[in-house]
Structure 1
Amino acid sequence: MNTVRSGGCFCGSVKYAVSGEPVLSAYCHCTLCQRLNASPFMQTIHFESSAFSWDDKPTCASSLESFEVTTKPWKQRWRCKNCGTNVASHNSKTNRWSIWGATLDRDDDGKILDWDALKPTSHMFYGTRMLDVQDDLPKWDGYENKSKRLD
Structure 2
Amino acid sequence: MSNGKVYEGSCFCGAVQLTVSGEPAAMGYCHCESCRRWSAGPVNAFTLWKPEAVRITQGADNIGTYNKTPHSYRKWCKTCGGHLLTEHPGMGLTDVYAAVIPGFPFHPGVHVHYQETKLRMKDGLPKLKDVPKEMGGSGVSIAE
TM-score scaled by structure 1?
Answer: 0.84
Paired with 1:87 and 1:7, the residues of 2 have a C-alpha distance of 9
What whole-Å deviation, never above 9, does each CA across 1:51-96 have from its counterpart, x for those lacking one?
11101x3xx1232111111xx2232211011111111011221221
Matched, 1:150 2:138: no
- Structure 2 residue runs of 5 or longer lacking an equivalent are none
The runs of 5 or more residues in structure 1 that have no matched partner are: 106-112
Report % sequence identity.
27
Moved over 3 A (4+): none
| CA distance in 2 between partners of 1:82 and 1:9 (Å) | 9
Q: Aligned Cα RMSD in Å?
A: 1.5
SS at match of 2:70: strand
Equivalence map 1:114-133=2 (5 Å): 114-115=104-105, 118-133=106-121
2:52 to 24, 32, 50: 50
Deviation of 1:144 after TM superposition, in Å, equals 4.1
SS state of the match for residue 15, structure 2? Answer: coil
Paired position in structure 2 for 1:21: 23
1:85 aligns with 2:82: yes
Is 78-87 or 140-149 further displaced after alignment? 140-149
Paired residues in the alignment total: 137
